[in-house]
Amino acid sequence: MADSKAKTRVAVAGLGAIGADVVKALDRGIDGLMLVAVSASSPEKHRGWLAELKTAPEMVPIEQLAEVADIVVECAPSKVVRAIVAPVVERGKTAVVLSVGALLQNEDLVDLAKTHGGQIIVPTGALIGLDAVTAAAVGTIHSAKLVTRKPVAGLVGAPHLVEHDIKIEGITEPLRVFEGSARDAAKGFPANLNVAVALSLAGIGPDRTRVEIWADPTVTRNTHRIEVDSDSARFSMTIENIPSENPKTGRITALSVIACLRKLRASLRVGT
């Protein structure tokens, strides 16, 4: 009992590809943390597997997560980010945000966190190299670019494609479907380009960070390449993500969140 009192209480909002894996990892055990609550849009769908956990978390609506937890991990669609994060940071607590693109439409959440002593954490997620980008940003970054290639299934239905009547079903060669700023990429591809916004927030912002998106029938993995030039280093890195059960989301994303949670109370932290 004394031990559980010392633990930081964690809640998870959204039990899809990322949230379910994070819940299971928390239940297996992460030093210093305990899972206390979850939110789902269809709670009845999840009752079976939640009941099999070592300690079944409470099921509460998203607005109430901040009341019962110290850290809330958002793994939900971008449209509900504000409803999840605002009550958390208003209480001076910590929100881990996966739907990073939504932070651009809700920039005041960061001010809210500042005013109330809360914190918003953006894990590296499906991307690579944000440690190097944040370090380079302490100096001067001259340019930052992301080139994303996804299998067709990972892009179909994106608002930019619908709006511009860009057909990608049945293509046989790679097709560049977008070139522009990270801000516009996030608007046009809200479920695909969180990584572009994460890169921009780590580096030179959503208007100066350039993005290319390719629908590529020759790849089976969600592939992100970053290219950064700065006054301390020039680097480029590529990550090839195996899609999870959600073809838009790479498997490594949930693992990145779990690694991020492990670091919160770890005796040894490696990486920026």
Ligand X SMILES: NC(=O)C1=CN([C@@H]2O[C@H](COP(=O)(O)OP(=O)(O)OC[C@H]3O[C@@H](n4cnc5c(N)ncnc54)[C@H](O)[C@@H]3O)[C@@H](O)[C@H]2O)C=CC1
Catalytic residues: 224
- Other beta carbons within 10 angstroms of residue 119's beta carbon come to 16
Residue 228 or 257: the one with the smaller Cβ distance to ligand X is 257
Which one of ligand X, ligand OAA, none interacts with residue 193, CB within 5 to 8 A by kind? ligand OAA
Choosing from 35, 186, 195, 254, the residue that interacts with ligand OAA (CB under 6 A) is 195
* Helix/strand/coil (H/E/C) assignment for every residue in 34-103: EEEEEECCCHHHHHHHHHCCCCCCEECCHHHHHHHCCEEEECCCHHHHHHHHHHHHHCCCEEEECCCCHH
Q: How far is the CB of 172 from ligand X (least distance, A)?
A: 27
Residue 167 DSSP class: -
Residue nearest to ligand OAA (CB): 250
Question: Which residues from 117-146 bind ligand X, rule CB under 6 A?
Answer: 125-127
| Sign for the pseudo-dihedral over CA of 84, 122, 264, 31 | positive
Please, what is the Cα angle at 267 between 265 and 272, to 5 degrees? Answer: 80
Q: Does 19 bind ligand X (CB under 6 A)?
A: yes
The β-bridge partners of 68 are none
| Residue 126 labelled as part of a binding site | yes
Q: Is 194 annotated as a binding residue?
A: yes
Q: Residues 202-241: x/- map of binding to ligand OAA (CB under 6 A)?
A: --------------------x------------------x
**In this complex, which beta carbon is closest to ligand X, that of residue 77 or of residue 217?**
77
Q: What residues are designated binding site?
A: 126, 194
